[in-house]
Structure 1
Amino acid sequence: MFSEEQLLSVFRALSNPARRQMLVWLKDPMSFPGQKAEDVEIGVCVTDIQRRMGLGQSTTSQYLTMLRQAGLVVATRRGKWTYYRRDEANIARLLETLRDVF
């Protein structure tokens, strides 16, 4: 069950349309141009997310950090690159909390 503080973090992260869009796009990592099947389990490179969003590198990174801190995505470093994927287990836990609370 998510605490009230965790729920506030999630609601803040989801209050921005660009962050919500990132989360939706990460649902289908193979929809990103150049995505390799062997990388699906670690996620999508931040550079590919940035390119698709059309935002600057720092803004994209800040948005992804906020989603990570809210427990909605997981970051994995591979060399100098960071990959992001949805945290499906935590998202399921969030939805269960929302059903119980509301």
Structure 2
Amino acid sequence: MSKQELEVLGQDGDGCCPTLLSAPMDEDHAVELAKVFKALGDPVRIRLLSMIASRDGGEICVCDLTPAFDLSQPTISHHLKLLRQAGLIESERRGTWVYYRLLPATTDRLAALLTRPGAPAAP
């Protein structure tokens, strides 16, 4: 994952994660954050992310993802590519198969960005 993808979620070098309500976001961060939300703006990609995140062992083979959808393998690969480009997942090729896993640090920063300062954690 590139440094730019990490910056999408607004974390600076000091480990501070400003929220939407704590400081105005500059245009560059807003444009980059919009890419993450765009990646999450499709039901297929949300389902893929959920399947990856909820998998025992923390990773899943693309061969286990494709049968869950009435879509072609290239279409599933395209959706996974968009999630990967948004910095939400990472992949590793093992032989002929590709395995995907969630990047929890990225989703945690996204959650922190959307949390109101001082708000109690959701149940």
TM range (shorter): 0.7 to 0.9
Matches within 5 A, 1:1-102: 2=9, 3-30=29-56, 40-41=57-58, 43-99=59-115
- Alignment partners' CA distance in 2, 1:84 and 1:21: 14
Q: Distance in 2 between matches of 1:54 and 1:83?
A: 20
The structure with more helix, counted as a fraction of residues: 1
Instruction: Give the number of the structure whose alpha-carbon radius of gyration is greater.
Output: 2
C-alpha deviations, 1:16-61, integer Å up to 9, x for none?
Answer: 111011111222213xxxxxxxxx24x1111210111231110000
TM-score (norm 1): 0.78
Q: Structure 2 stretches of 5 or more lacking a match?
A: 1-6, 10-28, 117-123
**TM-score by structure 2 length?**
0.66
What runs of 5+ residues in structure 1 fail to find an aligned partner?
Answer: 31-39
Amino acid at match of 1:10: V
C-alpha RMSD of matched pairs (Å):
1.9
Percent of residue pairs bearing the same amino acid type:
37
